[in-house]
Chains A and B, each alone.
Chain A
Amino acid sequence: MLSAAAGISLVAAPAHAADPATKLYGIVTSSTEQPLAGVGISIEGPDGFRAEVETDSAGAWEVLVPTKGTYSATINEGDLPSGQALTDPTKGTVKANIFMPGVELRLLFPIGPGVAKATMLERSAQLTVDGLILGLIIALAALGLNLIFGTTGLTNFAHGEILTFAGLLTYYFSAIAKLPVLVAAPIAVLLSAFVSGFLQDRYLWKPLRKRGTGLIAMLVVSIGFAIFLRYFFLFLFGGDTRQLPQYAGQAGLELGLVNITPKSILTTVIGIGFIVFATLWLLRTRMGKASRAVADNPALASASGIDVQKVIRAVWILGAALAGYAGVIVTVNQGVSFLMGQDMLLLIFAAVTLGGLGTANGALVGSLIIGLFVQLSTLFIPTELKYVGALIVLILILIVRPQGILGRKERIG
């Protein structure tokens, strides 16, 4: 069997020149996803292979290559229209390894609105703003995660799916039911509070607490629940990222050194409002104080007349509303996909761990640090590795302070 397979590939080897499927291809689009036609691409490969192509009206190009080996594709930057440039000037030449005949490799040239020409100061300012917004999104989700952890001890791996659920609701109400986003978003947040908060606690976690299920067991249950929900969303929604029909291509405003869209400003301001509301709730209301008491010592809180189950219910509802709004922000600004929650979950966990599990203000500090670090690190490291940087910082900080920045020392085991 093996020798037969090897024989076939030996026979096929001289024939790959005619194999039409071995090719390099790509689509060149502008920063606003418009195809760019007439951009020259040159390919160099082994044995002196050279090819020159131009992108067609759909921005597409392809080159058939004869043998395996390492090829390099270079984009002619002079062909790019004004205002468009490579986001990373070092990425004008992309290398591609063809390991075997018959493969198709897609090459990307990341193009943005001339960011490469921006000064370091402008880039830093823009990234700081982006980082603060990302930090806010993380903080909204992390607050709820942390409150739930504090009151019930549950490390909820299904928290990211609350974001996805609210994002999908926003999409369905706005794109399918044709409601304006300003109506769809509040409905999504309310439904998130009810379904992901109240119902989820009532019919999943409360019965488990009553059964006396252990904390690690509940953690594993939440993993199973997250996998179930994620693929249920994929089943319903499909695998692509979709934009809301309204405000999709909104132009940014130039504010001093930074460029920011009005929708981003509005969603951020409302998000800050949510954070302030949640903080006041925790500090000022009876229920908020009760929730801190439960987090500190559930048995003592219960003995002093606090209805622990009621507090936990309130915390779930608040947490789901906050996380749901975080999902709405992402959906309005970047579109929604079934993986949205999973992508955010690790950052949320990193923020919470960094700040100290179970401490509410720790979650805020951790979120801002993670958000800023993720964005600002792209000044020095490739954008695709920005999450790696944040996770490495998480591990480094935990070496110095295993309990997190604001966590209490007794919390470590």
Chain B
Amino acid sequence: MDILFIIQQTLSATLGVNAIIFALAAIGLNMHFGYTGLLNFGQAGFLAIGAYSVAVPVITFGLSLWLALLIGIFNSILFALLLGVPTLRLRADYLAIVTIAAAEIVRQIARSATFNDSLGGSDGITGKFGKEFFDLNPFKTGLDTPILRFNGNDLWVVITGWVLVAIITFIMWIMVNSPWGRVMRAIREDEDAVRSLGKNVYLYKMQSLIIGGVIGSIAGFVYALSRQSVQPDNYGTALTFFAYTVLILGGAARVFAPIVGAMIFWFLIVFIEQVLRAGVTSNLIPDWLIGVNQVGQIRFMLMGLGLMLLMIFRPQGIFGDKKELALDAKA
């Protein structure tokens, strides 16, 4: 068992591209769920909109990548409006079901053969649509140390990605500590009370949905650019659920929770997977118990189990305040 290799893989994942994607997706959810109390289960839809908005304009229509990013922001605002108009009047559990349905609509349309020409069908889109971004990369050689390893492109994505996460987190911090942010938290606690103070709750919820959704679509940009490919089935409901796991792990309604949650989440996942894999290949774990191909399945089982146990025994996560966020919907 190569312990240094396991450490290298684990630390690289802790700081890696996936941690950035999940941190951004969870920051968006934190706006929705943590601060406003909106149970948005359609975050994967926002990521998909972001990812396809980067790939399709560049590959299919030959536009500039920078224009594509603007189109992505615009599309995610449009999707938030489309989603928000019918759903924001609904109770929490209705909202959860409708948003999950909306995200599935996006995914199924994206993977359908009907739109194969522009969206690439179930194979998605693969191509060099991030060329303009990677041309700016000053770190062509990458990073190769015993404990941390990124190739040139990944290093560029990781550095710009964490800078982006820092900027967005800072903006979030300013927003949620402003009077506006206090109204949001008040809506989460008691909508009717806020309404009785003359605030337009619907409008505030819509703003929350748009802001969190745009942050989600930025996570989609990172997802698409880092892989130079968009696969529709990566944007299924599981993505949303794991983004929730990240958020709850860190502690909902805490500004830094998504960042810490994403790092710990990927640290655990990759560490467990690498240890299991090393155990299976070196025959420490017998083959009849876990085959090499089943390591990924064990990983998902542990993710599900982890989410359950976390929610049962520590719903406030690492940083959260149990009193502030009782996570309870009164029907």
Q: Give complex CA distance A94, B91 in Å.
A: 44
Contact of B97 with A350 in the complex, beta carbons under 8 Å: yes
Q: Give complex CA distance A392, B114 in Å.
A: 17
Give the Cβ gap from A29 to chain B, nearest Cβ, in Å.
Answer: 17
Contact of A411 with B331 in the complex, beta carbons under 8 Å: yes
Give the Cβ gap from A309 to chain B, nearest Cβ, in Å.
Answer: 19
Which chain B residue lies CB-closest to A155? B93
Contact of A413 with B92 in the complex, beta carbons under 8 Å: yes
Q: Give complex CA distance A411, B306 in Å.
A: 33
Give the Cβ gap from B157 to chain A, nearest Cβ, in Å.
Answer: 12
Contact of A105 with B123 in the complex, beta carbons under 8 Å: yes
Stretch in B165-173, B206-214, B272-280, B308-316 with 4+ CB within 8 Å of A: B308-316
Give the Cβ gap from B30 to chain A, nearest Cβ, in Å.
Answer: 15
The reply to whether the CB of A3 lies closer than 8 angstroms to some CB of chain B is yes
The reply to whether the CB of B116 lies closer than 8 angstroms to some CB of chain A is yes
Q: Give complex CA distance A224, B309 in Å.
A: 9
Which chain B residue lies CB-closest to A223? B241
In chain B, positions 86-111 with a C-beta closer than 8 Å to chain A are 86-87, 89-94, 96-98, 100-102, 104-105, 108-109
Q: Give complex CA distance A226, B308 in Å.
A: 10
Give the Cβ gap from B311 to chain A, nearest Cβ, in Å.
Answer: 5
A155 proximity list for chain B (CB < 8 A): 93, 96-97
Q: Give complex CA distance A395, B91 in Å.
A: 14
Contact of B94 with A398 in the complex, beta carbons under 8 Å: yes
Contact of B123 with A235 in the complex, beta carbons under 8 Å: no
Q: Is the interface of A mostly helix, strand, loop or mixed?
A: helix
Give the Cβ gap from A389 to chain B, nearest Cβ, in Å.
Answer: 9
The reply to whether the CB of A111 lies closer than 8 angstroms to some CB of chain B is no
Which chain A residue lies CB-closest to B309? A224
Which chain B residue lies CB-closest to A389? B105
Given known A215-B329, A229-B304, contact A357–B113 (CB-CB < 8 A): no
B127 proximity list for chain A (CB < 8 A): 99-100
Contact with A along B299-331 (1 / 0, CB 8 A): 011011111111110010000000000111101
> Total A-B pairs in contact (CB under 8 Å)?
177
Contact of B297 with A231 in the complex, beta carbons under 8 Å: yes
Contact with B along A212-242 (1 / 0, CB 8 A): 0111110111011111111110110000000
Given known A215-B328, A220-B248, A388-B109, contact A402–B301 (CB-CB < 8 A): no
Interface size on A, residues (CB 8 A): 57
Contact of A97 with B305 in the complex, beta carbons under 8 Å: no
Contact of A227 with B90 in the complex, beta carbons under 8 Å: no
A220 proximity list for chain B (CB < 8 A): 244, 248, 307, 311, 327
The reply to whether the CB of A153 lies closer than 8 angstroms to some CB of chain B is yes
Q: Give complex CA distance A413, B142 in Å.
A: 53
In chain B, positions 117-170 with a C-beta closer than 8 Å to chain A are 117, 120, 123, 125-127, 134, 137, 140-142, 151-153
A99 proximity list for chain B (CB < 8 A): 59, 120, 125-127
The reply to whether the CB of A387 lies closer than 8 angstroms to some CB of chain B is yes
Contact of A385 with B109 in the complex, beta carbons under 8 Å: yes
Given known A1-B140, A412-B91, A413-B191, contact A234–B297 (CB-CB < 8 A): yes
Q: Give complex CA distance A366, B90 in Å.
A: 18
Which chain B residue lies CB-closest to A107? B113
The reply to whether the CB of B298 lies closer than 8 angstroms to some CB of chain A is yes
The reply to whether the CB of B294 lies closer than 8 angstroms to some CB of chain A is yes
Interface centre among B90, B117, B126, B245, by most A CB within 10 Å?
B90
Contact of B86 with A227 in the complex, beta carbons under 8 Å: no
Contact of B90 with A402 in the complex, beta carbons under 8 Å: yes
Contact of A398 with B140 in the complex, beta carbons under 8 Å: no
The one of B151, B306, B328 in contact with A216, judged by C-beta atoms closer than 8 angstroms, is: B328
In chain B, positions 207-264 with a C-beta closer than 8 Å to chain A are 238, 241, 244-245, 248
In chain A, positions 100-137 with a C-beta closer than 8 Å to chain B are 100, 103, 105
The reply to whether the CB of B112 lies closer than 8 angstroms to some CB of chain A is yes
The one of B112, B248, B328 in contact with A385, judged by C-beta atoms closer than 8 angstroms, is: B112
The reply to whether the CB of B39 lies closer than 8 angstroms to some CB of chain A is yes
Give the Cβ gap from A189 to chain B, nearest Cβ, in Å.
Answer: 26
Q: Give complex CA distance A267, B240 in Å.
A: 36
Identify 10 residue pairs between A and B in the complex whose beta-carbon atoms are under 8 Å apart, listed by A's number: A1-B153, A2-B137, A95-B116, A153-B331, A215-B328, A228-B305, A349-B97, A382-B112, A398-B98, A413-B91
Q: List 15 extra interface pairs beyond A353-B97, A384-B113, A385-B108, CB under 8 A.
A: A3-B140, A220-B244, A221-B312, A223-B244, A224-B309, A224-B310, A224-B311, A225-B308, A227-B238, A227-B301, A231-B297, A382-B113, A391-B104, A398-B98, A412-B94
Closest 8 CB pairs of A and B: A214-B328, A227-B304, A228-B304, A224-B307, A1-B152, A224-B308, A231-B300, A413-B91
Report B's interface with A, CB cutoff 8 A: 39, 59, 85-87, 89-94, 96-98, 100-102, 104-105, 108-109, 112-114, 116-117, 120, 123, 125-127, 134, 137, 140-142, 151-153, 191, 238, 241, 244-245, 248, 294, 297-298, 300-301, 303-312, 315, 326-329, 331
Report A's interface with B, CB cutoff 8 A: 1-3, 70, 94-97, 99-100, 103, 105, 153, 155, 208, 211, 213-217, 219-221, 223-232, 234-235, 346, 349-350, 353, 357, 382, 384-385, 387-388, 391-392, 394-396, 398-399, 402, 411-413
